[in-house]
Chain A
Amino acid sequence: MARQITFSCNLWYRTQIKAIVFERIDMKKPIILGCAITLLSSCGLLSFAPSVDAKVTTNLQSATASMSHIAACIELGSCAGKNQISQVEDRYVDAFSNANLALSIAEKTETSGDRAAQAKELFVEEIIACRDAIKRQFEAHKQFASLQNAGLAAPNVVICELATDASRALSRL
């Protein structure tokens, strides 16, 4: 008897769901599609890139802003070489620490699927490239009398800018 009631309830419930979802509303295909997508997604097949913490973007933006400031200072000649580096030393420290912080947060990003893992790896490499660029420029700034017109500062800004763009796009996902 109990089994019969359970069966009847089940049947009633299923009929109601069917009526609500599949018959009264013509949404059969989207629901099936939704379920298929959910299934594919759970296997990581629809995962191409992970969503990244917005803090990474904030840190990279600060690093890029500092690098841009230093580049302008070098090109205008007001802190072109080793004798004036003290004017922008704080900016270098700020840029480097922000890039490092961004890297440590980005490395913790969780991924599902091979392609999302590949995207994370590419993103982490972009941040490392930005951090290395800051260090390379700082070392050169300490060593040479002038970096003005050397063609060194602008590419380094580009490296950090691209990492920031990628971070912005990833945090929007």
Chain B
Amino acid sequence: MTNFTDFAPDTMSELMKAIKSDLSEEFSGWWGANKSAVSGAIRTVSQSAFETQKSLLKGDIEEELADIALQSQKAALRQVLRHTKLMSLILLQALVNAIFKRIGWALLNKTGVNFFPELVTP
């Protein structure tokens, strides 16, 4: 956990270094979470599609049920695409927030003025 309360950079390069580190941390967290979520979702949908095909060929399920199952699988794939797009926007916002937060803390610790109260909560 990053300690912001003691962060009072004297130079711009010190601040930039901290921002770079925040951005890198934010990105790795996002990448780790999304990589596993999206690949897990695709794996599950593929397995389900295989299962539907197998059960239909064996005559265990009706055609109508197979059709409903395929609708769900398609909906899940559409959800994956939508999710990827949404998560990209969330990442951008998280990165912007990380920059604001770091600058906000630096300003608060240096000047006592809280420029971004929604991100900087002492």
**For the complex, what is the distance from the CA of A73 to the CA of B44, rounded to whole Å?**
17
Question: How does the 8 Å CB contact mask read for B82-104 relative to A, with 1 for contact and 0 for none?
Answer: 11011101101110110110011
**For the complex, what is the distance from the CA of A150 to the CA of B57, rounded to whole Å?**
11
Q: In the complex, which of the residues A30, A154, A170 contacts B48, with contact meaning CB atoms closer than 8 Å?
A: A154
**For the complex, what is the distance from the CA of A7 to the CA of B26, rounded to whole Å?**
48
Interchain Cβ contacts within 8 Å, total number: 162
Which residues in chain A, 96-153, are within 8 Å of chain B measured between CB atoms?
115-116, 118-119, 122-123, 125-126, 129, 132-133, 136-137, 140, 144, 146-147, 149-152
Interface of B, helix, strand, loop or mixed by DSSP: helix
Beta-carbon contact of A149 and B60 below 8 Å: yes
Query: A49 at the A/B interface (Cβ < 8 Å)?
Result: yes
Nearest neighbor of B72 in chain A, beta-carbon distance: A155
Min CB–CB distance A103 → chain B (angstroms): 15
Contacts known (A26-B11, A49-B90); A159 close to B51, Cβ less than 8 A: no
Size class of the B contact interface (CB-based, 8 Å): 35 or more
Beta-carbon contact of A31 and B76 below 8 Å: no
Interface of A, helix, strand, loop or mixed by DSSP: helix
Which residues in chain B, 1-55, are within 8 Å of chain A measured between CB atoms?
10-12, 15, 33, 37, 41, 44-45, 47-55
From A8-16, A56-64, A85-93, A160-168, give the one contacting chain B: A160-168
Point out residues on B near A: beta carbons under 8 Å.
10-12, 15, 33, 37, 41, 44-45, 47-55, 60-62, 65-66, 68-69, 71-73, 75-76, 78-80, 82-83, 85-87, 89-90, 92-94, 96-97, 99-100, 103-104, 106-107, 110-111, 115-116
Size class of the A contact interface (CB-based, 8 Å): 35 or more
Beta-carbon contact of A151 and B55 below 8 Å: yes
Beta-carbon contact of A30 and B47 below 8 Å: no
Q: List 18 A-B contacts (CB under 8 A).
A: A30-B15, A34-B104, A48-B89, A49-B92, A115-B92, A122-B86, A126-B82, A136-B71, A144-B61, A149-B55, A151-B55, A151-B73, A152-B72, A155-B76, A158-B41, A166-B86, A169-B94, A173-B94
Min CB–CB distance A56 → chain B (angstroms): 14
Beta-carbon contact of B93 and A173 below 8 Å: yes
